[in-house]
Amino acid sequence: MSETQRVGTVRDINGPIVTIELPGIRHGEQVKIGDLGLFGEVISLNGDRAVVQTYESTDGVRPGEPAEGLGWPLSVELGPGLMGGIFDGVQRPLEKIALLSGDYIRRGIDVAALDREREWAFEPNRDLEVGQTVEPGAVLGSVQETETVLHRILVPPGVHGELEELAPAGNHTIEATIARVRTRDGRTRRLQMYHRWPVRTPRPYLRRDDGVAPLITGQRVIDTFFPQLKGGKGAVPGPFGAGKTVVQQQIARWSNADIVIYVGCGERGNELVDVLETFPKLDDPYTGRKLMERTLLVANTSNMPVVAREASVYVGITMAEYYRDMGYDVVMLADSTSRWAEALREVSGRLGQMPVEEGYPAYLASRLAAVYERAGRVETHGAGSGSVTLIGAVSPPGGDFSEPVTSHTKDIIETFWALSKELADARHYPSIDWVTSFSGHVHTAAHWWHENIDASWEERRREALALLARDAELSRIVNLVGPEALSSSQRWDLEGAALIKEGVLQQSALDDVDTFCSPEKQFALLDLVLMIYDLGAELVTRGVPVQEMQRLPLLSRTRRIKSLYSSEQLDEIEAFRTEVEQTLENLRLEYEKHEEQAG
Amino acid sequence: MSIKEYRTAVEARGGLLVMKQTPGVAFGDRVRIEDHAGGIRNGQVIRASDEDVLILVFEGVEDLDLENTWVRFLDAPVEMALSPELLGREFNGLGEPRDGRPPILSSLRRAVGGSAINPAARTYPREFIQTGISTIDGLNSLVRGQKLPIFTGSGLPHNRLAAQIVRQARLKNEDAAFSIVFAAMGVSYADAKFFRDEFASSGVLRNVVMFVNLADDPPVERLTLPRTALTAAEYLAYDLDRHVLVVMTDMTYYAEALREVATAKGDVPARKGYPGYLYSDLAEIYERCGRIHERHGSITMMPVVSMPSDDITHPIPDLTGYITEGQIVLSRELNSQGIYPPVHISPSLSRLMKDGIGKDDTREDHPRVAAQLYALYSRALETRNLASIIGADELSTHDRRYLTFADAFDRRFVGQGENEDRSIEATLDLAWELISIFPKDVLTRVSEADIAKYYRELDESQAGSAGGGPASGVTTAVQSHSRRRRRSASGAQPAGAA
């Protein structure tokens, strides 16, 4: 990709938007601006002049300073050493930058994403022989990147031909030659353990597949009520304070994905530090190793340059696709896509482009759709099935879901976890609103639940949602005329819905026991609560006063079961269930006796 | 580049000055302007090109005679001189003295623009700050390195609350007082005087640096003022190892000044005429707060943001809420009932509370008590609404308990004296006193162990009167507790006095 480097001149500086004069520069090309060497990207061309968005502050740059075209578009390095790392919006390693430039990020600092010195134990693919024809995506070998992640070294896209040489097992740096391939045009390509890929171009795959398995997040309201598939795309919209970040972090912590990529896009520095400090200490519930070993962070805090914020989402999703190509299930969390959209708006505003809705440019919807479409489950070229699940947080201004970013996102995604201010104000967390949220994957997820957990899952889920819907309606009546207007069975409906809310839907991320809930426990809790409701409803129709039912200590105990017993203590939950059944049965017998006497 | 002087101004509008034929001027540089009368104004380059240069004039462009305006590019960014002598002084938005004393002489000058803290160099804030205010300490705890704004409206006592926090804020187990950086943008003379007197009378003045731009000072200067103030705060925190509390009032006036300049520049407006970069711009300011690895000092921030027409969804409070780690929201309704401080807890939030409280920091029951109070109060507000429709008499005994609780909570937990400094233990004890209005089986957010340790056994008739204590906020938990004991000993129980 490299060509002779060309140097032009800076003509105009308007914040992060710089106009340069450099004949022959291409759209999308990377540029180094001024004496400081600030990185930027060409976003429009007009004759010999090009408009560049810079990833760093342009303070102190003068017209007349040099501008150098680098000959390639914004690209990331893909190879071993990414896992466990923390990168800025243009994939510079922040920990290394901290060593080089101290507490603040110095401008113009140029550090490669991957460590050039580090040696990796390369294990060649024993099934490959010299002389064999290889295609892009073929597995050349592997290195153990972390204890959890086996990093497969693939033939990069675009390289077809005959394998001339494959390195034996041994320690190599990422720049060492591990294979040579004679391509069809007769040239020999030297392959290393890493390659570069332009972030705005989706990585190729063989074909797209339908998602089949749910992504288990250990969060009841998600897995049980609004399930997401591996390879699905979802959004978490919510006003500030509703708990978007906690929902995203819980998914990052507990989901059964192989790789988690967390993109902090225009968010709070202190929250990112929380992730940075807690993840290395957390255990992965599936492997028992440290969570950080399968996690990668991209951090562009809200005070870091706005243009790098726009890039950060592409940088994240390209790395996600890279691990997908190795046959892994990857979850990428983008917090928040609204900040990304606002970065688009900020740049388009500076370019003087005509705004359409609330100042956003006309291409907002198509850009959003293009990003979300990079998620999906695919058949890779050489490593079987892999998937990228993309979950974006949306921060609608004023909590108004009709604003452009939320409404366009809603058109694209399949799973919508709407956070509610009212629930958050009542400290009902996660504040995912069961009325406005939806999942297009319930039917597919049901196959998995029926096969692995219980055949009545879809039915039980429907019952619970129906009861919650009745509750919403009855609550409106109560708010108008008071609870006395309700019949006793209606009042029992309210009690049943309250049990679902407190015993199932509410789940504290801070509670050591309840922070993760296995699918088995999720179903056990749901089934328990619905059983109490069903048996109770029967008792109420027989004339047992609702007040008497409410006084049963087992109700308040039911609300605590979620944090009393962990996912491993299903037997205890079962024992409690039997106890409850017995108590309610006794109550029924007592009343029957009573009725007989009265009769 | 040598320092040159030009007389090539061609246009002046809305705080901006356009210059022609001024080659090689750096973006962001400081500018000195001499007008026809010999007056000196300051400016900054906000767009630089071959053809023309756009200058933001901090003192405004009123009365400029373009023919006779001399512009000098100082070839340096806007800077602030820094030395320990800052403390006790008062400056304007450019860091020039306002108190009639000589300027700070120091070889240490820093650009006020700052740069982004590397997230990898930050430390997570987790040290509990006791403000002595129950609604903050108990339910929305502040920690060192946090930015927690006060969302308020015109006529609400945010200034008194901010002053009380400045007076009382301390770390639980440390005596070291905070150094205060006070940044006032577009406030009235009376408000500025209130703070100045407040600092003087409480004896903290030697520990305060003030940056003041009054309502009738040039609005453009408000754009640099918070940056200058934060440059001073960073110096105090990271060079002098002090813990700094930055109080900024009022960010709404800052944002309005930004809008004024943006409009003059012709920027494409996003919401309500504010430019699309308002979020990034506010973030540049707010995100300068925090804690850094291996640095002793810290910056904690309490910006005051007034919500135009009390609208929390207005772009300024809205974008602020997306950047800051929570918010303290003041309520007009509580204020009109004479409750001080009128903190409405439902929309208030502290995101960093979880790691600053609990067993080792405050008390082991704190997180659950806070969750329990929130849950009860939320239900209590619903009940109050219901009572206003169907009448309190129609409510069940159980529901009436929520009314009792809501009233007691507003008057005794939220309400407190302006000079009342409650310890966190007193706040939590008071919380338990209120929680104990309810029977134990309602309390699902606290643990059984908490109940065994802290729950106050009361019989039904006493439950009614627990909330019926006098409205005076000066009553401490201990006093009211002993009074209740006395009353129950005498056996005279006014039932449901609330």
Supply A513's token pair.
Answer: 């026991």
Whether pLDDT at B484 is above 80: no
Same domain, A433 and A465: no
Whether pLDDT at A31 is above 80: yes
Do residue B295 and residue A502 have CB atoms under 8 angstroms apart? Answer: no
Distance in angstroms (rounded) separating the CA atoms of residues B207 and B81: 18
Distance in angstroms (rounded) separating the CA atoms of residues B312 and B226: 22
Do residue B26 and residue A60 have CB atoms under 8 angstroms apart? Answer: yes
Sheet holding A133-134, edge to edge: A133-134, A161-166, A179-182, A188-191
- Assess contact for A395 and A333: CB atoms under 8 A: no
B392 CB near a chain A CB, below 8 Å? no
Q: What is the mean pLDDT of residues A101-129?
A: 91
- Assess contact for A97 and A111: CB atoms under 8 A: yes
* Nearest-by-Cβ selection for A11 from B50, B124, B395: B50
Per residue in B210-229, pLDDT (tens digit) is 999 999 998 889 999 999 99
The per-residue pLDDT for A565 is: 94
Same domain, B47 and B190: no
The per-residue pLDDT for B481 is: 42
Does residue A298 lie in a domain region?
yes
Which CATH number does the domain housing residue A327 bear?
Answer: 3.40.50.300
DSSP A389-433: EEEEEE--GGG-TTSHHHHHHHHH-SEE--B-HHHHHTT-SS-B-
Minimal-distance CA residue of chain A relative to B398: A547
Average pLDDT, chain B: 87
Smallest CA-to-CA distance from B178 within B77, B100, B289 is with: B289
Does residue B495 lie in a domain region?
no
Q: Which of A270, A356, A406 to mutate to test the interface with B (most CBs of B within 10 A)?
A: A270
The per-residue pLDDT for A291 is: 86
Does residue A497 lie in a domain region?
yes
CA angle A454, A458, A461 (to 5 degrees): 105
Which CATH number does the domain housing residue B147 bear?
Answer: 3.40.50.12240
Same domain, A373 and A246: yes
Same domain, B322 and B271: yes
Distance from CA of A303 to the nearest CA of B (A): 5
Whether pLDDT at B306 is above 90: yes
Which of B76, B110, B133 is at the close of a domain?
B76
Same domain, B386 and B314: no
Whether pLDDT at B81 is above 70: yes
Does residue A177 lie in a domain region?
yes
Residue B490: which pLDDT band, with cuts at 50, 70 and 90? very low
* Distance, CA of B404 to chain centre: 32
Supply B54's token pair.
Answer: 């756009």
Which of B356, B380, B403 is at the close of a domain?
B356
Per residue in A2-13, pLDDT (tens digit) is 445 589 999 999
Whether pLDDT at A331 is above 60: yes
Whether pLDDT at A413 is above 90: yes
Residue B488: which pLDDT band, with cuts at 50, 70 and 90? very low
Whether pLDDT at A455 is above 90: yes
Count of domains for chain B: 3
Full domain range(s) for residue A425: 207-445
Q: Which of A105, A302, A360 to mutate to test the interface with B (most CBs of B within 10 A)?
A: A302
Q: Which of A38, A267, A345, A427 to mutate to test the interface with B (most CBs of B within 10 A)?
A: A427
Per residue in B334-363, pLDDT (tens digit) is 999 999 999 999 999 999 998 899 988 999
Supply A192's token pair.
Answer: 């290393």
* Nearest-by-Cβ selection for B269 from A98, A359, A551: A359
Does residue A108 lie in a domain region?
no
* Nearest-by-Cβ selection for B145 from A95, A270, A553: A270
Name which of A83-87, A137-141, B274-278, B475-479 the model is least confident about.
B475-479
Count of domains for chain A: 4
The per-residue pLDDT for A325 is: 96
Which CATH number does the domain housing residue A60 bear?
Answer: 2.40.30.20
Distance in angstroms (rounded) separating the CA atoms of residues A379 and A382: 8
Smallest CA-to-CA distance from A343 within A268, A400, A271, A267 is with: A267
Supply A539's token pair.
Answer: 């008792």
The per-residue pLDDT for B466 is: 44
Distance from CA of B479 to the nearest CA of A (A): 30
Per residue in B433-461, pLDDT (tens digit) is 999 999 988 898 898 899 999 999 865 54
Whether pLDDT at B472 is above 60: no
Same domain, A211 and A183: no
Q: What is the mean pLDDT of residues A123-135?
A: 92
Whether pLDDT at A534 is above 60: yes
Whether pLDDT at A404 is above 50: yes
Which CATH number does the domain housing residue B430 bear?
Answer: 1.10.1140
Whether pLDDT at A255 is above 90: yes
Does residue B497 lie in a domain region?
no
Q: Which residue has the higher pLDDT, B416 or A289?
A: B416
Same domain, B325 and B457: no
Which residues of chain B neighbour A270 with C-beta distances below 8 Å? 122, 124-125, 145-146, 290, 325, 352
The per-residue pLDDT for B459 is: 55
Same domain, B67 and B123: no
Q: What is the mean pLDDT of residues A457-472?
A: 96
Q: What is the mean pLDDT of residues B407-414?
A: 96
Smallest CA-to-CA distance from B261 within B11, B53, B15, B63 is with: B15
The per-residue pLDDT for A4 is: 53
E-strand ranges in B26-149 read 29-34, 40-49, 52-57, 70-77, 79-81, 90-91, 109-111, 122-123, 128-130, 142-143
SS3 assignment, position B197: helix
Per residue in B272-284, pLDDT (tens digit) is 889 888 988 999 9
The per-residue pLDDT for B56 is: 92
Per residue in B185-202, pLDDT (tens digit) is 999 999 999 999 999 998
Residue B476: which pLDDT band, with cuts at 50, 70 and 90? very low
- Assess contact for B101 and B66: CB atoms under 8 A: no
Percent of chain B with pLDDT over 70: 91
Which CATH number does the domain housing residue A175 bear?
Answer: 2.40.50.100
Distance in angstroms (rounded) separating the CA atoms of residues B183 and B233: 11
Supply B62's token pair.
Answer: 């009123």
Distance in angstroms (rounded) separating the CA atoms of residues B144 and A44: 45
Same domain, A268 and A394: yes
SS3 assignment, position B109: strand
Q: Amino acid identity of B315?
A: P
Whether pLDDT at A387 is above 50: yes
Whether pLDDT at A180 is above 50: yes
Residue B2: which pLDDT band, with cuts at 50, 70 and 90? low
Does residue A171 lie in a domain region?
yes
Q: What is the mean pLDDT of residues B42-53?
A: 91
Do residue B371 and residue A339 have CB atoms under 8 angstroms apart? Answer: no
Residues in CB range of A223: below 8 A, 6 or more apart: A214, A216, A217, A517, A519, A522
| Residue located via tokens 């069961």 | A434
The maximal CA–CA distance of chain B, rounded, in angstroms, is: 91
Distance from CA of B360 to the nearest CA of A (A): 16
Distance in angstroms (rounded) separating the CA atoms of residues B411 and B428: 16
The per-residue pLDDT for B470 is: 40
Same domain, B275 and B346: yes
Cα distances from B60 to residues A26, A243, B216, in angstroms, run 42, 43, 12
Do residue A95 and residue B120 have CB atoms under 8 angstroms apart? Answer: yes
Name which of A283-287, A331-335, B225-229 the model is least confident about.
A283-287
Distance in angstroms (rounded) separating the CA atoms of residues B299 and B145: 5
Smallest CA-to-CA distance from A193 within A129, A123, A263 is with: A123
Does residue B496 lie in a domain region?
no
Which CATH number does the domain housing residue B52 bear?
Answer: 2.40.10.170
Per residue in B246-265, pLDDT (tens digit) is 999 999 999 999 999 888 88
Q: What is the mean pLDDT of residues A394-420?
A: 92
Which of B48, B76, B104 is at the close of a domain?
B76
SS3 assignment, position A71: strand
Minimal-distance CA residue of chain B relative to A423: B378
Which residues of chain B neighbour A35 with C-beta distances below 8 Å? none
Distance from CA of A585 to the nearest CA of B (A): 22
Q: Are strands B243-249 and B179-187 parallel, antiparallel or unpaired?
A: parallel
Q: What is the mean pLDDT of residues A101-127?
A: 91
Q: Which of A38, A240, A486 to mutate to test the interface with B (most CBs of B within 10 A)?
A: A240
Percent of chain A with pLDDT over 90: 69
Minimal-distance CA residue of chain B relative to A9: B50
Smallest CA-to-CA distance from A74 within A331, A310, A275 is with: A310
Q: How many CB pairs under 8 A join A and B?
A: 233
Q: What is the mean pLDDT of residues A19-45?
A: 92
Distance in angstroms (rounded) separating the CA atoms of residues A217 and A201: 29
Chain A neighbours among B 319-358 (CB < 8 Å)?
319, 321-327, 346-347, 349, 351-352, 354-355
Minimal-distance CA residue of chain A relative to B29: A60
Residues in CB range of A31: below 8 A, 6 or more apart: A20, A22, A25, A39, A40, A41, A42, A50, A52, A67, A68, A69, A70
Cα distances from B95 to residues A454, B110, B209, in angstroms, run 69, 11, 11
What interhelical angle do A553-564 and A488-500 show, nearest 10? Answer: 20
Same domain, B256 and B391: no
Phi, psi of A4 (to 5 degrees): -65, 135
Which CATH number does the domain housing residue A565 bear?
Answer: 1.10.1140.10
Chain A neighbours among B 12-31 (CB < 8 Å)?
23-29
Same domain, A246 and A383: yes
Chain A neighbours among B 96-155 (CB < 8 Å)?
111, 113-125, 145-146
Same domain, A353 and A401: yes
Does residue A84 lie in a domain region?
no
Q: What is the mean pLDDT of residues A331-337?
A: 93
The per-residue pLDDT for A240 is: 80
Query: Which of the 8 DSSP states describes residue A283?
Result: B
The per-residue pLDDT for B482 is: 41
The per-residue pLDDT for A352 is: 81
Same domain, B100 and B35: no
Whether pLDDT at B427 is above 50: yes
Full domain range(s) for residue B250: 81-356
- Assess contact for B159 and B191: CB atoms under 8 A: yes
Same domain, A327 and A461: no
Same domain, B19 and B56: yes
Whether pLDDT at B404 is above 50: yes
Q: Amino acid identity of A28?
A: G
